[in-house]
Amino acid sequence: ILIFSAFPPPSFSVLTPPPPLYIFCHYQAPFLPSTLKHSLHHQKKHTRMEFAHIILHLALFFSLLNSSFATRQLAESTQFMTFQYHKGPLLSGKVPINLIWYGKFTTTQRAVITDFVTSLSPSQREGQPSVAKWWATIGKYYRLANPRNPTSPSPLLGKQILDHSYSLGKSLTNTHLIQLASKSGQQVNAINVILTSSDVAVEGFCSSRCGTHGSSSNVGSSRNKSAYIWVGNSETQCPGQCAWPFHQPIYGPQSPPLVAPNNDVGLDGMVINLASLLAGTVTNPFGNGYFQGPKEAPLEAASACPGIYGKGAYPGYAGNLLVDPTTGASYNANGINRRKYLVPALYDPATSSCSTL
């Protein structure tokens, strides 16, 4: 069984929900050169020329300080790295996305997710930039893996299973997640997605992750594996960790939360984490596809770009986003049925950088 988390455990960074993966730097108060201190101490005795020399020192000092700040901002918002393809299988062609709804979800909430999954495939019904355009970046991984015959994944909405009765209780372990994933069958080229409601506790939820993707062997065959994803609704448990930027973060740079495009902080947060995990699952379904770093804690297509949703992003700021003039909601991608979504930046293997819509 392979499991990858969508929230960084304390000891390392993996797939991450927006704000928690920030790197905090301690900045000491800037110091003045000793010669400048000496000059300031004796400034009353200095000539005008020496005073001008002090002003020049100060101008140079603040110029360097401003340059350092600009460089820091650039370093925070731009990530360059090299992904390695580990020669394992990728999910390609038609990829059914089966949804297992565990707990209580309203019809409106389910529609937010199903419309997002359907929006991954291009159509004539959505505006631009679109969810499908965002997903098209994934195709670059396949062109690098197999330049002669690339077959990009084409997600499609598969089965839906409703478990309103909490058949395994309201406190789930990783073993329970695998049991739930098997409810929709173990198709080799499909992804079984478990979505847990806001009143369900899951092992590691909030403390170390917002979601997971992994795989398990099919019954009677150790060679054929099935991929699965779990994402939890954090609305009442940890929205500051798993639904940023639609909720105030519990730590790190503080800024006002954005308005959720579907008017549901928990569900819009789930869309972000589901999008991240779908990108990681198709490009690294069984732990030997595309990733950087250790296999046990890989950086994948979306987790390599934490907290970035638009150009100019930096810790505490999601980036330049589109804003709905009627609702004031922030988003960066259009879906079917006039849906609006916020999707994470993806690592672009062609440019070795994080790419936004």
pLDDT 10s digits, 33-44: 444 344 434 444
Residue 52 confidence (pLDDT) above 70? no
Confidence of residue 186 (pLDDT cuts 50, 70, 90): confident
| 63 pLDDT above the threshold of 80 | no
- Residue 123: strand, helix, or coil: coil
Q: What is the mean pLDDT of residues 48-55?
A: 47
**Cα-Cα-Cα-Cα dihedral sign, residues 258, 136, 193, 115:** positive
- 110 neighbors 117 (Cβ within 8 angstroms): no
Tell me: the pLDDT tens digits for 147-156?
A: 888 899 999 9
What Rg, from alpha-carbon coordinates, does the chain have? 24
Residue 248, amino acid:
Q
**Where does residue 208 rank: exposed (0-12), middle (13-18), buried (19+ CB within 10 A)?**
middle
Q: Which two tokens stand for residue 204?
A: 């590691």
User: What average pLDDT does the segment 144-172 reach?
Assistant: 95
The CA distance from 12 to 16, in Å, is 11
The CATH number given to 84-237+264-304 is 3.40.390
Q: What confidence tier does 320 reach under pLDDT thresholds 50, 70, 90?
A: very high
Widest CA span in the chain: 91
Read off the tokens for 182. Answer: 């098997």
pLDDT tens per residue across span 96-110: 999 999 999 999 999
CA distances from 165 to 100, 162, 179, 189, 304 (A): 13, 9, 15, 29, 37
pLDDT at 185: 82
Place of tokens 């150790």: 222
Cis amide prior to 129 (ω within 30 degrees): yes
Which position has the higher pLDDT, 351 or 223? 351
Name the E strands within 258-311: 290-291
Helices 265-283, 107-119: axis angle to 10 degrees equals 30
Whether 322 shows a pLDDT value over 90: the answer reads yes
